[in-house]
Amino acid sequence: MTTPTALLEGVSKRYVKLDERRNLATSLLPGVRARRSETWALRDFDLRIEPGESVGVIGPNGAGKTTLLRVMSGVTSPTVGRARVWGRIAPLLAVGVGFHREMTGRQNVYLNAAMLGVSQREAEDRFDQIVEFSGVGYAIDTPVKHYSSGMYVRLGFSVAMQVDPDVLLVDEGLAVGDAAFQRQCMDRLAAMHRDGVTLVVVSHSMQSITSLCQRAVLIDRGRLTFDGDAAEGVALYHRLLDPSPPSARVDIASQRHVGGVSLVEATVESPDGDAASLPPHAPVEVDVHVAFQRSVANPCLSLGVSNAQGAMLAVFHSPLGTTYRNFKAGDTAHVGFAFRAHLVGGEYTVTLGVTSSDGIEVYLQSGGLAAFRVRDSGNLLGVVDLEGAISVDGHPLEHTSGQPPDRAARTVHDR
Amino acid sequence: MTDRPTPLPAPTVDTGAGSARVPSIAVQLWRHRRLLGWLARTNFAMRYRGAAFGLAWAVLVPLVQAGILVVVFSRVGGLHSVEDYALYVIGGTVWWSYFSQSVASGGVAIVAGGEFVDKLWFPRVLLPIVAPLANLVQLVITAVLVVAIAAFRTGLPGWRLLLLVPLAVLLLLLASVIASLGALGHAWYRDVGHAIPVLLTLGFYVTPVIYEPGALGDIGRLLAWNPVGGLLDLGRAAVSATQPIAWRGLGVALGAIAVGWLLVEWAYRRYDHDVADLL
């Protein structure tokens, strides 16, 4: 077996609450005892990271993500278990690795490099690269107390990123600086990863996790609850944050296509006019004629709307597990879907889905089966029309959405 | 990126149950000597930044203090039998100042350096040693002035001047071990931070800085066990041919350093990775 980069064996970390920490009085005086209030930030943590891996650490606030990085960097030791990390470790932290405010950028770069275990020669060799990456070259001989917070962070990052670490520990560090610098950091991290640097990234940005990491570990209340593919970990994390009961939600990941229902015809109509040129917010009615080749009890029916770029904008479906009708092989049915086109101008298509009552078995999934078009109404960007209105000092400006002026009256009338 | 060495078989971080033996503090200091140098340089450069007279203040303070003490106490009888009381006090004050200032700032250095301690690991023992190390600059300059004063008053004491080298080393070691133990204690109990200045004030009076131990009678014999006192006598002997070299005091100082060092070895190897949790 090769040497791993990090090996955590049964690691648990206990913190004793700060305000009840024993003080001199409680240690010396007999009869006075500090009440101990303990928190286990990590519980029975087993983790092995191989050289060159990129691991995203995700989990809710207070789950123990930062403690994990603290243990890995050696700042703190596990209460139980053993933690080992091989190679040069560089932490990349949101607030930078402690600069001395009175010192110039140049001095801080050297001090930081020394703290990261870089030799003087190596630091000198890298100096130009560090400064160039940070983009604060013009102020490198100014004390950092005169730096803006952005400059401060950029310089701190640059040191950690340019000193050739074997392991880079990134704690929520990616959300700093302007968009351009963030982009630059992400690119640099990706390049370092390609060069074999092991990345351990703590982030609440699932986008950076999935783009940087192949592997994700999910921590919940100090315990490792998932360790595997990053996309899967992110999906699990979302479910952890929004724990709807499983029956109320279609679990797309576990769906199986089995067939058995076919589409006969689909039409799109609107009481407001031609489906090829609908006014904004027009009611849309989709009529679908389906034929059953198998018996299906209480199928779940769904309709999706996609834009011209193929992005699925919305899906709505009948409640899972409702009892309404048992279809036998040979039956046909007309399914009516109705919705309002709260959409910006453009071409849209609908997708039909017929699944088993629990949403798992897919009998029919048919995309692009009918199209409609919403007229351009101006003043709108994005994909949905929020029926927005803008006023200044109470005086409404021209309507931003395509809604006609008599909106209020119309809405009442529609009901 | 250049070719990266394959990860070492020895981990960089090894903590918790069954972890490998922590190397001696001396070894750790040697391995991190460059960082220690940078920290000391920073500490020195920052202290007098923006002050027009810079280092002059560092030298001036102990000398002015010594001057005042000489003027005041040379009028108080019974304190001294030495022929050059002024040199005795100056010799005592400047070495004591080094010790006192080093312990005062080194003794709170871990908590003061919390910003670094909380973010990445390096041997924590570096922090309390920074101040004693950086203060050596000021010690050397004051030593030169003391030698000049001695030469002016009684003539140069010849080979004995070489004693200033072991004096500086021993002062550095004594201040370092005491500051190290203080800094760890301070991280544990913040009371220590308040106690250090009190103890140093007390120390000034229970150390023969301005008086000779003999002046206190029986208590004076007790004071002979004060390790700082032994070093002050060594410093005085270095600049004055008439002062005997107090071998016993030197032995006490060496013993204190040895015991202190063992405590530092034990405490820092045991608690090195726990300090950050205390901040």
Mutation to test the A interface, candidates B22, B198, B268, B277, most A Cβ within 10 Å: B277
Q: In chain B, what percentage of residues exceed pLDDT 70?
A: 94
Burial of A230 from C-beta contacts in 10 A (0-12 / 13-18 / 19+) = buried
Mutation to test the B interface, candidates A7, A101, A115, A194, most B Cβ within 10 Å: A115
Eight-class DSSP state of B6: P
pLDDT, tens digit, for every residue of A346-364? 888 888 889 888 888 888 8
pLDDT, tens digit, for every residue of B154-165? 888 788 889 999
pLDDT at B22: 83
Establish, for the pair of chains A and B, how many residue pairs have beta carbons separated by less than 8 Å. Answer: 127
Higher per-residue confidence, A198 vs B244: A198
pLDDT at A402: 47
CB contact under 8 A, A85 and B13: yes
Residue closest to A42 by CA, chosen among B122, B16, B10, B187: B16
CB contact under 8 A, A82 and B118: no
CB contact under 8 A, B120 and A116: yes
Question: What is the band of A216 on the pLDDT scale with cuts at 50, 70, 90?
Answer: very high
pLDDT, tens digit, for every residue of A231-284? 888 888 877 776 554 434 455 556 677 788 888 888 888 888 888 888 888 899
pLDDT at A246: 41
pLDDT at B30: 92
What mean pLDDT do residues A197-223 have?
89
pLDDT at B126: 93
Classified as helix, coil or strand, B131 is helix
CB contact under 8 A, B34 and A15: no
Asked if the ipTM is above 0.90, the reply is no
CB contact under 8 A, A3 and B17: no
Chain B residue closest in CA terms to A101: B46
Lowest model confidence (mean pLDDT) among A254-268, B75-89, B251-265: B75-89
Classified as helix, coil or strand, A393 is coil
Higher per-residue confidence, B96 vs A379: B96
pLDDT, tens digit, for every residue of A298-332? 899 999 888 877 778 888 988 887 888 889 888 89
Cβ-based neighbour number of residue A300 at 10 Å: 23
CB contact under 8 A, B118 and A75: yes
Instruction: State how far the alpha carbon of B73 is from the alpha carbons of A185, B84, B209, in Å.
Output: 66, 13, 11
Which chain A residues have a beta carbon less than 8 Å from that of B11?
Answer: 84-86
B51 touches chain A (CB under 8 A): no
Cβ-based neighbour number of residue B72 at 10 Å: 11
CB contact under 8 A, A100 and B46: yes
Facing residue for A84 by CB, picked from B14, B34, B120: B14
Q: How far apart are CA B278 and CA B47, in angstroms?
A: 27
Q: How far apart are CA B215 and CA B211, in angstroms?
A: 7
Q: How far apart are CA B107 and CA B173, in angstroms?
A: 14
Report the run of H or E that residue A229 belongs to, with start and end: strand A223-229
pLDDT at A25: 63
B269 touches chain A (CB under 8 A): no
CB contact under 8 A, B42 and A196: no
A119 touches chain B (CB under 8 A): yes
Residue closest to B240 by CA, chosen among B91, B42, B125: B91
CB contact under 8 A, B42 and A103: yes
Classified as helix, coil or strand, A93 is strand
pLDDT at B279: 77
Which chain B residues have a beta carbon less than 8 Å from that of A103?
Answer: 42, 45-46
Q: How far apart are CA B224 and CA B230, in angstroms?
A: 7
CB contact under 8 A, B16 and A115: no
Sequence-distant (6+) residues with CB within 8 A of A128 are none
- Provide the mean pLDDT of chain B: 85
pLDDT at B52: 67
pLDDT at A411: 40
Which amino acid type is present at position A200? V
CB contact under 8 A, B13 and A89: yes
The answer to whether A58 and A235 have CB atoms below 8 angstroms apart is: no
Facing residue for B46 by CB, picked from A11, A102, A197: A102
pLDDT, tens digit, for every residue of A127-142? 999 899 888 889 899 8
- Provide the mean pLDDT of chain A: 81
Residue A17 has pLDDT above 70, yes or no: no
Question: What is the band of B132 on the pLDDT scale with cuts at 50, 70, 90?
Answer: very high
Lowest model confidence (mean pLDDT) among A93-107, A186-200, A350-364, B109-123: A93-107
Residue A1 has pLDDT above 80, yes or no: no
Facing residue for A3 by CB, picked from B9, B116, B122: B9
CB contact under 8 A, A120 and B34: yes
The sheet with strand B13-16 has its strands ordered as A38-49, A6-16, A80-85, B13-16
φ, ψ dihedrals at A390, nearest 5°: -125, 135
Facing residue for A102 by CB, picked from B14, B39, B49: B49
B15 touches chain A (CB under 8 A): yes
Question: What is the band of B263 on the pLDDT scale with cuts at 50, 70, 90?
Answer: very high
Can you name the residues that pair with A229 across neighbouring β-strands?
A: A215
pLDDT at A409: 39
Which chain B residues have a beta carbon less than 8 Å from that of A3?
Answer: 6-7, 9
Facing residue for A74 by CB, picked from B1, B8, B13: B13
Which chain A residues have a beta carbon less than 8 Å from that of B6?
Answer: 3
Report the run of H or E that residue A335 belongs to, with start and end: strand A332-340
Residues A112, A116, A118, A122, CA torsion sign? negative
Q: State the number of CA atoms in the 13 A half-sphere of B223 facing the CB.
A: 22
Highest mean pLDDT among A152-166, A270-284, B252-266: B252-266
How far A202 CA lies from chain B's nearest CA (Å)? 15
pLDDT at A21: 53
How far B199 CA lies from chain A's nearest CA (Å)? 17
Task: Give this prediction's pTM.
Answer: 0.71
Which chain B residues have a beta carbon less than 8 Å from that of A164?
Answer: 1-2, 4
Looking up tokens 């897919």 gives A362
How far B219 CA lies from chain A's nearest CA (Å)? 29
A173 touches chain B (CB under 8 A): no
A83 touches chain B (CB under 8 A): yes
pLDDT, tens digit, for every residue of B177-234? 999 999 999 998 888 889 999 999 999 888 888 887 777 777 777 787 889 988 998 9
Residue A412 has pLDDT above 60, yes or no: no
Facing residue for A111 by CB, picked from B12, B42, B189: B42
Chain A residue closest in CA terms to B273: A76
Instruction: State how far the alpha carbon of B115 is from the alpha carbons of A339, B108, B112, in Å.
Output: 57, 13, 8
pLDDT at A408: 40
Q: How far apart are CA A182 and CA B146, in angstroms?
A: 58
Which amino acid type is present at position B196? I
Which chain B residues have a beta carbon less than 8 Å from that of A202?
Answer: none
Count, residues in chain A:
415
Helices (H), A9-104: 24-28, 65-73
Q: SS3 helix, strand, coil % of chain B, rounded to 5?
A: 70, 0, 30
The gap from C-alpha B134 to its chain's centroid, in whole angstroms, comes to 10
A111 touches chain B (CB under 8 A): yes
Chain A residue closest in CA terms to B33: A114
The answer to whether A293 and A261 have CB atoms below 8 angstroms apart is: yes
User: What six digits make up the tokens of A350?
Assistant: 């609908």
CB contact under 8 A, A166 and B4: yes
pLDDT at B197: 93
User: What six digits make up the tokens of A172?
Assistant: 């929520």
